[in-house]
Amino acid sequence: MARDGIVAPPTSSLDADLDVDVAIVGAGLTGLWTAWALHQLDPSTSVAVFDAHRIGYGASGRNCGWLSAKPVGVRRVLARAGGRESVVDVERALRRSMHDVVDVLGAKTIDARHGGALQVARSASQQRRLDDYVAYNRSWGVGEEQLRALSGEQAYQRVRVAGLTGAVHTPDNYCVDPVKMLFGLAQHVVDGGVAVYTDSPVDTVTAGMLRVRGYTVRVRRRVVVATEGYTASQPGYRRNLLPLNSSMLVTEPLSDEQWERVGWQHADGLSGSAHTYFYGQRTPDGRIALGGRGKPYRFGSAFDDDGRVDAHTVGQLLATLTELFPDVSLTAAHAWCGVLGVLRDWSPFVDADSQPGVIRVGGYAGQGLTAAHLAGHTVADLITGRQPTAAAWVRRMPRKWEPEPLRWIGANALYRTYTVADHLEGRSTHSRTSRLALAANAIAGR
């Protein structure tokens, strides 16, 4: 795979037994940042990364490229162990991570554009949720310089979305080219002497040992499992992380005249406030990349077929674009999907306690680009005996998701409920959030 001259570093599959200090399962952003951070903290540590497929086969190679410092997880959940200050600390650390990623990999190399993020509201209830969101953030000490409320008119100056009632804007976001970011990081990791093995599925994970393609990997210090949405395929872990699907569509390039009508003459990421959320960026080559709808969850925590999406999903994403920009006719050029890992309490974890000798990490619920950097550094801190940078994330995985068929019925019924709630809210002038959506939130545990 290549992107504008940037290619993934060459890798091969494991073809002999191996001895290493640290073995990492998963060559996504979490696995790679963990390897990078370990190399920085202790270059004498030997590290090997194994992926069942290729570098960035998972969400790390399929995302929308928002490198954001938006808080990850649920604050009240993360505050349980270390209190409010630990959550504020982790949010500061996320902001540092966001800038560090760009500094380490180079803004030019990864096409990083620092605009911010704009979340728009298009109905009275969406607007009320945004107002509540601002008030909630203020109660956590988030000031005007980090999160600013915009009127419908001010929002329209930034992007000409139909039916705007208002928006919030934060400067804490870069839009990046996700594949350039992934390959840039992988190159740094390989240049640092880390061995990356692809087409090398890990079948058995125990303290001090992995089995990979019939070979034995003896691990002197620690095994790290960074398989996020794919964790469900491991024995004993089927119900820990729900593989939630998200789909992406990239349009053909827009003409100057179309951009004129769309507005969006800046690098803000754009997202909505409906329960069935969308997110997008304006790409450097003049397209819109939009993420959102799709099949939310497959029975038995199954995965997609190498990212393929059906015509229905493409149609849904195009319909979202048409709702946003009804005067502009847009054509799909590419579409794909991927899975993100969601824990029962919707918050990230770095779990060094549940299995001796093994650290499990992930659960960013769709916000992993910056979080993977922070989580990777936190894992490396734990391995090298330092204070963890993201102390609030260091915790055991919470209770599991429900068994099937409850999981499938629940996930899909909730998604349908949110769709109906959006429809009802869109037709109403009331600012109340639909009772259906409130009930769905309570069941989902959000």
Ligand X SMILES: Cc1cc2nc3c(=O)[nH]c(=O)nc-3n(C[C@H](O)[C@H](O)[C@H](O)COP(=O)(O)OP(=O)(O)OC[C@H]3O[C@@H](n4cnc5c(N)ncnc54)[C@H](O)[C@@H]3O)c2cc1C
**Which residues would be at the binding site for ligand X (CB under 6 A)?**
25-31, 50-53, 57-60, 62-66, 68, 201-202, 226-230, 233, 246, 248, 291, 338-340, 362, 364, 366-369, 372
Our CA dihedral for 236, 346, 81, 22, rounded to 10 degrees, sits at: 50
Query: How far apart are alpha carbons 75 and 272 in whole angstroms?
Result: 21
Nearer to ligand X, 127 or 173 (CB): 173
Residue number, nearest CB to ligand X: 368
Nearer to ligand X, 311 or 442 (CB): 311
Query: How far apart are alpha carbons 244 and 365 in whole angstroms?
Result: 8
Q: Are 431 and 130 in contact (CB under 8 A)?
A: no
Q: How far is CA 393 from the centre of its chain?
A: 16
Nearer to ligand X, 250 or 436 (CB): 250
CB of 215 to ligand X, least distance (A): 13
Query: How far apart are alpha carbons 404 and 300 in whole angstroms?
Result: 7
Nearer to ligand X, 213 or 221 (CB): 213
CB of 308 to ligand X, least distance (A): 13
**Adjacent-strand bridge partners of 212:** 202, 215
Side-chain half-sphere exposure of 94, counting CA atoms within 13 A: 26
CB of 61 to ligand X, least distance (A): 7
CB of 205 to ligand X, least distance (A): 8
CB of 370 to ligand X, least distance (A): 6
> What is the full DSSP assignment across 167-200?
EEEES-EEE--HHHHHHHHHHHHHHTT-EEE-S-
CA-closest candidate to residue 176, choices 242, 90, 95, 267: 267
Nearer to ligand X, 30 or 125 (CB): 30
CB of 13 to ligand X, least distance (A): 11
Question: Parallel, antiparallel, or unpaired: how do β-strands 18-25 and 215-225 relate?
Answer: parallel
Question: Parallel, antiparallel, or unpaired: how do β-strands 215-225 and 358-362 relate?
Answer: parallel
Nearer to ligand X, 214 or 385 (CB): 214
Nearer to ligand X, 184 or 362 (CB): 362
CB of 257 to ligand X, least distance (A): 28
Tokens of 244: 């939630």
CA-closest candidate to residue 225, choices 93, 375, 446, 109: 375
CA-closest candidate to residue 38, choices 396, 365, 359: 359
CB of 173 to ligand X, least distance (A): 9
Nearer to ligand X, 25 or 391 (CB): 25
DSSP 8-state secondary structure symbol assigned to residue 228: G
